Amino acid sequence: MTGETPGTPVHGLGARMLEALLTESVGVRRARRLPCDRAGPGRLGDPEGMTAGSAPRDLTGREAPGTGRANYTGAVYGSLLAASVVAGAGSAGPYPRVELVLLLICTGLVFWAAHVYAGFVGDRLRRGNVSWQEIRRVCVGEWPIVQAALLPAAAVAVSPLLGLGLEGTAWLALGVAVVQQVGWASAAVIRVGASRWAVVSVGIVNLVLGLVIVAAKVALQH
């Protein structure tokens, strides 16, 4: 007889089980820390927001402008801006069509410059010194705001060839702006692989926004 009580083996088994659980728990915590502890360029914990094989992203996690992919946000925003310009434009002046074309393009350029400046300030606050390459990237990334004004401006320019008066010209340009707004928004969600219902929903939302501008134009005419 060794003097051991019948409960001794049970306590020994419980201790071994507790030790095993603690060891497993420590191992899990270490495994969870590994991606951050070993983070380097292109891995988790990268302070620049980069991942291997992916495009740069800003502080919000969105893909940075000018990284080789279409800036759908700028295109949708520019289309909405162009529609607003057409809705609020008057028909006074000796050359109303020329004035509307210039107004569309100049408004797009002004808002493009504002977005570029905002992006430049954001990069400077985040990184300190900003290179010319980064400034060029922001300029190119925000350029769809200007591009979105080109189709409505072209519609205004060709309207005399279609036999349209000033009122018809304005409605043609407004229709083009709304259609391209819906198109760019739908293309954006299709690009990310969204469901058909999501594509339809986004299209409806942007169509409603366009119709709000149409309603505003109708109200301004009365």
pLDDT at 142 over 90: yes
Total-model pTM: 0.67
pLDDT at 175 over 90: yes
Query: Cβ–Cβ contacts within 10 Å for residue 101, how many?
Result: 20
173 or 43: whose pLDDT is higher?
173
For residues 126 and 222, give the distance between their C-alpha atoms in angstroms, rounded to a whole number. Answer: 49
- How would you class 17 by CB atoms within 10 Å of its CB: exposed for 0-12, middle for 13-18, buried for 19 or more? exposed
**Phi and psi at residue 10, to the nearest 5°:** -65, -45
147-161: per-residue pLDDT in tens? 999 999 999 999 999
Confidence band for 19, pLDDT divided at 50, 70 and 90: low
Amino acid identity of 209? Answer: L
Q: Tell me what the mean pLDDT of segment 8-30 comes to.
A: 48
For residues 19 and 73, give the distance between their C-alpha atoms in angstroms, rounded to a whole number. Answer: 55
Q: Would residue 69 be called left, alpha or beta, if left means φ above 0 and alpha means ψ between -120 and 50 degrees?
A: beta
86-119: per-residue pLDDT in tens? 998 876 678 899 999 999 999 999 999 999 998 8
46-74: per-residue pLDDT in tens? 333 333 334 444 433 345 444 445 689 99
**Phi and psi at residue 57, to the nearest 5°:** -125, 150
- Give the C-alpha distances (Å, rounded to integers) separating 206 from 76, 151, 192, 211: 9, 18, 18, 9
The average confidence (pLDDT) of the chain is 76
Confidence band for 218, pLDDT divided at 50, 70 and 90: confident
User: Terminus-to-terminus CA distance in the chain, angstroms?
Assistant: 109
pLDDT given for residue 137 in this prediction: 87
